[in-house]
Amino acid sequence: MMVCVRVPRLLVLACLVCALHAIENHLVIAPQFPVVEIGTNFTATCVIINTTEVSADDLYWKLSGNVVPKDQYTRINASALAVTVPIRGEELEWLFCSSKEVSDYVSVNNGKFIHGITLTKGYPPQKPENLTCMAVQVEGEIPPTLSCVWDPVGPQTPHVPTNYTLNVAMLRNKLRVVTTECKARVSLGQTFPYYVHLEVWVEAQNELGGIETEHLTEDADWFVKTSPPSKVNVISERTIPTSLLVNWTHPIPKVYLKLINEIRFCQNGSQGWTYVPLVDTANSMPPFRLQNLQPDTVYIVQVRCKHARPGYGYWSNWSTNTSKKTAEDQPKSKPDVWRIVAEGDDVNERYVLIVSKEPVRRNGKIKSFNIKVQSQKDKVKIGGWEWESVDVSGSEADRNTGQRRIYSLKEMHLSNDESAEVFVTAVNSVGTSPKASIIIPKRSHERLPVEDLKVWSHEGQLWVEWKPLDSKDVSEYVVEWVTDGQTDWQREDSSTRRTFIKGSLQKFVCYTVSVYPVYARRIGKSASMEAYLEQGAPLEGPVVKLDGRAERNRAKLLWKEIPQSKRRGFITNYIVFYTNGTKTHAVTVPANTTSYTLTSLSRNTRYDTWIRASTIRGYANGMNHTFITQKYAPGEIEGVVVGVSFGFLFVVLLFMLLCIYKRELIKENFWPRIPNPGESTIGTWSPDYPLKAEIPKENCLSGISVLDVDMCDGKSVFEEDKTCLPLKKDKYLSEEHSSGIGGSSCMSSPRQSVSDSDEGGDVADTTASTVQYSSVVASSGYKGQTPSCQPPQAVFSRSESTQPLLDSEENSDVLQQEGSRQSGRFLTPPCFTQNQDNADPTDHNQLETGQQDGLGALDFCPLKEDSEPKASTGSQSHDWTPAAPASSYMPQLGGYRPQ
């Protein structure tokens, strides 16, 4: 229904100004105040009056500031020019007629040769439709007021409004109500005129024309609309659980109007109504019985009424809702029995839970279930229990949405080669339902599953599709969905290949959807998939930790999967982030990975790491985990120590091998061979010089041992304040022994040997191999030595030895010259000792060092007073003979010890 709007004229004042101005103007346009119809052509004529200065040829037209083309002009005569323009749009437009300039003194601006009019646009009225008039009952009476409404037809403009006139003719009276709106009310008198003939119509009129509707000619009660019935009451009868009795009260007495009624009802929560046919209620009076209803079901009932005469009056509004529950009845359908199978503690055992839904037509609240199980093994009945009653409690099933409560009935354990048949009935307060049963076959007898299972979400529903099996034994399919330990299912026909889950599903929850084929009550194997009704971003990220300790340049990260309730979707991947504070790295790993090893890390560095879990709808980051890499890799320090140790051992071994391989060279460099004085050739070149007996000096020993050489203390050799070093006493002393190597000034002449022991056999052996030496002793001692035994004179001793001369022997002259320059000091005579038990090899090193020093090569330790041999008890006393000025060497036994 369109709304009519009244708009006054806006340009009345402007038109009046134009009319006044036209009195002095030489141009006039006819018509002056045109109202034109949109979509048509309009013709206007410009006339020249009271002047001959211009003609029709000097005129032109302008519409809304635009010059109208000349092909739309029509020259009527020399003083009149017409124009035809199309009318488009609904806005007002100005049409001007002007004259061209014909001379300098003729100007358009003086206003005498220009004139304009306003084009007011609109639409002619059209016949209104759907004229409806009624007298609505108020508080038990019909008021004498007729209210009418209608729908305007066609467009309207605010510049050309349409006025409506409601006309009511009653007997000889005619009532009129003028309005610009699309509704009107008219009073019919003091009271409502029952059984009076009325004629009603509406006129529509504006400046472009007028039109009226069809006339309604009916009795006054034809226009009556009563109030809805009151005091509606619904009664449930226990003896008839499939019916409800409805009662109500008429809104108006029958003496005024005879009414008929209409009833509708529906189950509580349903969106569709069921209408009782009018033929059943037309001739009936309250109460009315509703039949064929469901027992133990809540119904909502409404009633309305109207004039009983066909075609008369209007239906009243529906009464307010009145609800009532039908009485209980025995269940008329089977319970829906299912089983949940899980692996038992034994690999050959199955854990089976029998569950059931209430019957669809339960006809009352289910109070208990009766269950019986018969099990068989190899066609032998091993368990046939009696009926067992299981009491149930809880909220009632929601029948309107198709959701029914699921009850757990029995737990049992079956072996893999054991089958069972389960029977279940439901019991309410009235009776027992029909029996339902399923067969749980042996595991080896389970039939093949369905193929090509697909599960997807579409338009707020979870759809399931599979390839039907070709087997004719398939009686139905069971679609099962499980989440968080809650199981639900629905049954589909054997010909079904696609369906949607009819249960109440939630967003962001993962469901495991399975399809089971059922072969004559025997359940086959399932095909399963996981799916979400709608996915979202995870609520939290994975918690990461280290596997052990971080190494020098690597660390292994571990994390647990996000709990199923907080994933809210399928994890597409994980992103491992780690940073050392300056640079952040990211590594993407698959969704089935829960560990990752970071490599190429810097040693002794602090790292922060976290894991991001992503779905197709978003992502979530886990908490940061901090670790510090080690400064050294495991075993690195041990490796260095072992390497250094092996290197040192290798160097030692190499040095030892070198010493062994170059032992002769090392021996020659560090322990050079000392010439044997017994093999000296000094006897071949020494001049004859008679041996003289020398008086032994103080601190001098008359004899020298012939077996061993013992270097005296190094400090004594180089201390100038000590004059002589003692000769160690040997076991044997011989008279044939001469003094030591040349250069000694404190050697005694040959004399009888003195022994500390009675072993005289060794003396013969010793003297048999001795050789007498001679030596030239310089008049002065060696540098740094203090002469204490000999005067400053040269003594020559003869020797018959054929051994080459020692360095000191060959350079005796040099030694004498060197000695003469030493401030009158004599060389300290060396000492020879024999000590087989306490031989000290370092003495040879000292001797060798002395030989390398040139002149000091033959220095031997001088004798000391405290080293003189003392007489021992029971032995021959030592006989000391004064030495001659020129002493001779004593014979040596066996020469020097090998070096």
Report pLDDT for 380. 67
Distance (Å, rounded) from C-alpha 195 to C-alpha 142?
Answer: 13
Q: pLDDT tens across 303-352, in order? A: 999 988 888 889 999 999 999 999 999 999 999 999 998 887 777 888 99
Edge-first strand listing for the sheet containing 544-546: 544-546, 555-559, 595-598
Pick left, alpha or beta for residue 645 (phi over 0 → left; psi -120 to 50 → alpha; otherwise beta): alpha
Residues sharing a CB contact under 8 Å with residue 650, sequence separation 6 or more, in sequence order: none
Strand partners, 408: 355
The Cα–Cα gap between 71 and 411 comes to 101
| Phi, psi torsion values for 252, nearest 5 degrees | -140, 145
Query: What pLDDT shows up at residue 403?
Result: 64
Tokens in use for 37? Answer: 């119809």
Fold adopted by 544-628: Immunoglobulin-like (2.60.40)
Distance between CA atoms of residues 554 and 546, nearest Å:
11
Task: Please write down the long-range contacts of 73-79, taking CB distance under 8 Å and 24 or more positions apart.
Answer: 74/43, 76/45, 79/47, 79/48, 79/49, 79/55
Contact 753, 701 (CB under 8 A): no
835-870: pLDDT as tens digits: 444 444 344 434 333 344 433 344 444 434 343 433
Per residue in 860-876, is it b (16+ CB within 10 Å) or e — as a string?
bbbbbeebbbeeeeeeb
Q: Which residue has the tokens 């009149």?
A: 80
Q: Peptide bond before 286: cis, by omega within 30 degrees of 0?
A: no
User: Which helix H or strand E contains 150, and what residues bound it?
Assistant: strand 145-151
pLDDT at 8: 40
What is the rounded distance in angstroms from the CA atom of residue 337 to the CA atom of residue 404? 12
Q: Out of 3.60.40.10, 2.60.40.10, 3.40.50.1970, 2.30.38.10, which CATH number does the structure's domain 336-444 have? A: 2.60.40.10
The sign of the torsion formed by the CA atoms of 740, 741, 746, 749 equals positive
Tell me yes or no: is domain 129-223 CATH 2.60.40.10.
yes
3-state secondary structure 585-633: EEEEEECCCCEEEECCCCCCCEEEEEEEEEECCEEEECCCEEEECCCCC
Contact at 8 Å (CB) between 478 and 489? yes
Contact between 25 and 112 (Cβ < 8 Å): yes
Superfamily name with CATH number, domain 227-325: Immunoglobulins (2.60.40.10)
The predicted pLDDT at position 305 comes to 92
pTM (2 decimals)?
0.53
Domain 451-532 has CATH 2.60.40.10: yes
In this prediction, residue 24 carries a pLDDT of 63
Query: Dihedrals φ, ψ of 411, to 5°?
Result: -110, 140
Predicted local distance difference test score (pLDDT) of residue 687: 54
Rounded distance, CA 49 to CA 416, Å? Answer: 120
**Distances from the Cα of 308 to the Cαs of 232, 287, 421, 750, in angstroms?**
20, 18, 63, 184
Please tell me the distance from the alpha carbon of residue 411 to that of residue 355, in angstroms, as a whole number: 9
* Mean pLDDT, the chain cut into blocks of 10 residues (899 residues total): 38 43 72 90 91 86 90 90 90 88 43 84 91 89 90 88 90 81 86 87 91 89 91 92 92 87 92 90 83 92 91 91 93 92 81 91 90 80 79 58 77 87 92 92 86 93 91 89 91 92 91 92 90 94 91 92 92 95 93 93 92 94 92 79 89 88 82 75 55 45 41 40 38 37 37 37 37 42 41 44 47 44 40 41 40 40 40 38 41 43
What residue ranges of the chain are covered by domains with CATH 2.60.40.10? 12-122, 129-223, 227-325, 336-444, 451-532, 544-628
* Residue 396 CB coordination number (10 Å): 13
Max distance between CA atoms of the chain, in angstroms, equals 206
pLDDT recorded at residue 868:
40
Mention the CATH class of domain 12-122.
Answer: mainly beta
Helical spans, DSSP H, in 436-563: none
Q: Residue 65: is it exposed, middle or buried by C-beta count within 10 angstroms (0-12/13-18/19+)?
A: exposed
